[in-house]
Amino acid sequence: MKALSVDVELVPFILLLVLVAIAAGLVGSLTGLGGGVVVIPLLVVLFGTSVPIAIGTGFVTILATSSATGAVYVRDRLSDLRIGMFLEIATVPGALIGATVTVFLSHANLDAGLLVALGIVFLAILPGTVARRHIDVPPPLPADRRSRHLGLSGEYHDNATDRDVPYTAARTSPALGVMFGAGVVSGLFGIGAGVFKVLALERYLNLPMKVATATSNFMIGVTAAAGAGVMFAAGYIDPIIAAPVAIGTALGAMAGSRVLPGLRNQTVRLVFLPVIAILAIEVILRGLGLA
């Protein structure tokens, strides 16, 4: 794939950005990966933006998509605000550290290394997106002391079975550790790192799949705000690039959330994940100077 090597007029350039962002928001929503995973490599590979500007734009993408889809989860009480707020104490410092490291790497002219790492992380998260747990509601585990103290439990109404499903968070310490790591990855690369967040919420906290997905989405926005704040104040968000991308991904994500109920998730993932894998490989090759 070649970058736009010729000088393009502003209107078609912005329109192309919006269209690519709509596609990214749609694919990100349908695959559950979020828009950043598609937008960041395309900005670098197709539009020729610098790596930190692409990463800064990735944060803006996450903010737009998580606000667009997160409002529905919060309204329907699928997002557990208490558990989400509690875990943000780990993801936010992680994102601050990750974004700071990205700025330093960029200052040190290590963009190529950042690109290779970005591509590898993108490839690494793809299997986790396909191999999702098939247990909607796991068997209950005893709550630990911290979970009891903070009241990290609740219930939601499952429309599919028309019953209220209670749940309780367990094993909060390892979950906090994974969340810190997810925050670092998110801050470093401008992605939501939802795969890691859902892993911590499902596997360690033992939350039902729907609550885990919705709470992860709720948290992703706050984690991205931490990274975006650093990148913004460091001057690595370009409003003329970020604005059309934010508008496009929000529209794409909203369209995706409307289309999603009529599609089989696994089929959608299997169709689009090879495309994302190719983009990730292209990013690695570019980082290595081979593309």
Question: What gap in Å lies between CA 166 and CA 83, rounded to an integer?
Answer: 14
Rule CB under 8 A: is residue 225 a binding residue for other proteins? yes
Question: What gap in Å lies between CA 201 and CA 204, rounded to an integer?
Answer: 6
Q: State which of residues 149, 157, 163, 258 lies at the interface with other proteins (CB under 8 A).
A: 149
CB 182 to other proteins: min, Å = 15
CB 240 to other proteins: min, Å = 5
Q: Which run of H or of E encompasses 8?
A: none
Instruction: Quote the tokens at residue 30.
Output: 């349908």
Which of these segments, 1-9, 20-28, 173-181, 189-197, binds other proteins (CB under 8 A)?
1-9
Q: How many CB atoms lie within 10 A of CB 81?
A: 12
- 97 touches 234 (CB < 8 A): no
Q: Which of residues 99-128 bind other proteins (CB under 8 A)?
A: 99-100, 103-104, 107
Q: Which is nearer to other proteins, 30 or 228 (CB)?
A: 228
How many degrees, rounded to 5, is the angle at CA 246 between CA 242 and CA 250? 170
Question: What gap in Å lies between CA 109 and CA 116, rounded to an integer?
Answer: 14
Q: State which of residues 1, 8, 270, 288 lies at the interface with other proteins (CB under 8 A).
A: 8
Q: Which of residues 46-85 bind other proteins (CB under 8 A)?
A: 47-49, 53, 60, 63-64, 66-68, 70-71, 74-75, 77, 81-82, 85
Rule CB under 8 A: is residue 216 a binding residue for other proteins? no
Q: Which of residues 165-184 bind other proteins (CB under 8 A)?
A: 168-169
Residue 168 pairs in a beta bridge with 153
